[in-house]
Each structure stands twice: as structure tokens, then as C-alpha cells.
Amino acid sequence: MEVTRARTEVALAVEDDSQIGAARRGGSAVARIAGLSETDTGRTAIIINELATNLIRHAGGGRILVRALAEQVPGVEVITIDSGPGIRNVTEAFRDGHSTGGTPGAGLGAVRRLSDLCDLYTGASGTVILARVSGRPGRSAPSRLQAGAVSHPLRGEIVNGDGWTMATDETRSCILVSDGLGHGPPASAATAVAIRTFDAAPWRPLPEQLQALHAALRPTRGAAVAIAQIDHQSNTVRYVGCGNIAGVILTDGEPRSLVSHNGTVGHSCRRFTEFVYDWSPRSMLVMHSDGLHHGWRLENYPGLVERHPSLIAAVLMRDFERGRDDTTVLVAREPAA
């Protein structure tokens, strides 16, 4: 069994040249925590430096999110988000020596060379760039589910009250998203308890899992929690939730909203009903906290559904973030055959 946790992450504003160094140092710290070698940590630092420089020069600033990957091998995911004019010619932008700002033009070409995975989505609303650096080659089989997420605290907060975790085995994948009530350290503490409780026994029947979380969270502020368990053999999703975590399954572009009960896990969760939905290898699961508006529609973004789940999550956060709470957006689907 594999468990993926997403608790080591930084979200950094890059609005002038003085913040580039801070972004580079913060990303390097995450890389070391993730277990990357000094060589791979150095790759990460260069990628962040190039992407942060591009944010300033071409978009007037933006955000960098750096997350430690705890999947099959050590790794780091770097995402930059801006609301600039977009990239007119992506192929040219990745070509070494190309520049529109009077610089040597090493930026995106260097990022692609140094990354183990590099992707972007660009348009009139801005650009989101994804770069991943992985450590030593993994020995385990690829996961049955490809998941990507962005999660960061309310501006001005040091800790994040949101969080998520995922467990997978040969035939199943199970994802938990938690939103600690409010924000700040008490919310973060509640979500930490939820994640520890889930990770200790991720394959409990979902009603029992939610009851266990309800008991564990009683001494805390409480949280909104939702859990989705995907069975890749029977092509079903079992789902249970309490509070305002949104869940949607999209299959061939058709969305289906998932049901959560009202309440707060740890305090006022009275129903632990599990709901079952259809799933297919073409389906996509989107889960998010109430830091995101519900009015998003992926069909408004040509080609986005074909991109990496982390890119999809970052675009949705950029365009639909409320700005009044911590925000988590998670996207998951089966890898292409």
C-alpha cells in the first residue's frame, strides 16, 4: 500500500526582484525535506529562480507553490501562477535563446531541461507552469490514480488549515480532503489529526472511517471532511462527507456533484451515510474546500482537461479562489494507457 501526504508545502508571492531569492531558498528547503540529493535540490533551485524571474519580467508578478511529493520516490512539484498576458507562442518560449524581454532567454528552455516533468497552460487570463523534480528511480509500480493538488493558507497566515492525503493499492484509491474550521493554527491542528487518523487505517469502510474521524476530532476545533474511495475494478466511487467540501465527478465532460451532509466533523456530524457513484477510466474527480467558488466549468478552458491534474487544480484556484479562507483544490484521474 502507498500513502501520499501533502503537508510539506510553501506558497510564496513573487512581486519584485527582492522576492526571487526568498522563493529559491524556500523551495530548496522543501526539496531537502522531501529527501532530494544536493544535485536534485540544486536543480530545483535553478528552476524556481528561472520561473520567478519570468514571473517578474513577463507577468508583473505572481505566485509560486512548492510541494514535497511523497509518492514512490522523493520529489518536488513547483507551480507558478500568474494573471499576465499569456504566452503567445509556447514552442518559441521553450526554445533556448528565445527572449521577449531583452534577456539571454534561458528561462523556460532551462526549466524543461532540468525538470523530469514540465507542462503549462496559458491563455488570456494568464499562465500556469508545472515543473517536477524527482529523485532516484522508483521500484514500485505506477499508481492506479494520478492526483494533483494545490493547497495554501489564507494570505497572512503562516500555517494551512486545509490538507489532503491519499492511499492506493493494486485495485483501489482513497482520497481525504479536510478543511479545519476557520483558519490559522487551530484549523491546521484539526486537519493534522484528520490526516493522521485516516493514514493509520485508510481502508476502513467509509462510514466507520468518518465515525473514527468524528471521535478523533472532538478535542479540536473540528473540520469539514470528505473521503472518496475509487474501486478501479468495479468502476465505482464510494463517497462520504460532512461539511462543505465539494466533490464532482466529470465523465466525458458531464459533471455529477457528490453528496455531503451538513455539519462539522468532531462536533455536529450526525449522519455517516455512504453514497455510490459510477466511475470509468475516462472519469475525473475534483474535490475542493470552500476557499473555492463553485461556479467553475472546465469546458470554458479549451484543452485543459487533457493536462496534468496539478495544472488543472492551479488554474481553477487562480480563477475561482474566494480569498477569504484557506484553499485546497484536488484533481485526480487514471493515467492514460
Q: What is the pLDDT of residue 253?
A: 86
For range 259-279, the mean pLDDT: 94
C-alpha cell at 176: 481525504
Instruction: Return the top range by mean pLDDT from 28-32, 144-148, 212-216.
Output: 212-216
Q: Is the confidence at residue 99, as pLDDT, over 50? A: no
Question: Where is average pLDDT lowest: 97-106, 111-120, 180-189, 267-276?
Answer: 97-106
Burial annotation 193-202 (CB, 10 A radius, 16+ → b, else e):
bbbebbeeeb
Q: Is the confidence at residue 119, as pLDDT, over 50? A: yes
* Domain ranges for the chain: 2-134, 146-333
Q: What is the pLDDT of residue 100?
A: 43
In three-state secondary structure terms, 2 is: strand
Q: How confident is the model at residue 273 (pLDDT cuts 50, 70, 90)?
A: very high
Look at the block and give the residue holding cell 531541461.
113
**CATH 2.60.120.10 assigned to 2-134:** no
Q: Is the confidence at residue 4, as pLDDT, over 90? A: no
Q: Is the confidence at residue 106, as pLDDT, over 80? A: no
Whole-number percent of the chain with pLDDT over 70: 91
Q: Is the confidence at residue 116, as pLDDT, over 60? A: yes
For range 50-76, the mean pLDDT: 88
Of the candidates 224, 168, 223, the residue with the CA atom closest to the CA atom of residue 199: 168
Q: How confident is the model at residue 337 (pLDDT cuts 50, 70, 90)?
A: low
Q: What is the pLDDT of residue 98?
A: 47
Q: Is the confidence at residue 36, as pLDDT, over 70? A: yes
Q: How far apart are alpha carbons 324 and 286 in whole angstroms?
A: 21
For range 75-86, the mean pLDDT: 93
Q: What values do phi and psi take at 276, rounded to 5?
A: -120, 135
Q: How far apart are alpha carbons 103 and 233 in whole angstroms?
A: 52
The pTM of this model reads 0.91
For range 230-243, the mean pLDDT: 97
> Which residues 6+ apart lie within 8 Å of 42 measured at CB?
none
C-alpha cell at 90: 509556447
Q: What is the pLDDT of residue 3?
A: 46
Render 203-237 in DSSP notation, one character per residue.
TS-HHHHHHHHHHHTTTSS-EEEEEEEEETTTTEE
Q: What is the pLDDT of residue 71?
A: 63
State the CATH architecture for 146-333: 4-Layer Sandwich (3.60)
Tell which wins on pLDDT, 155 or 223.
Answer: 223
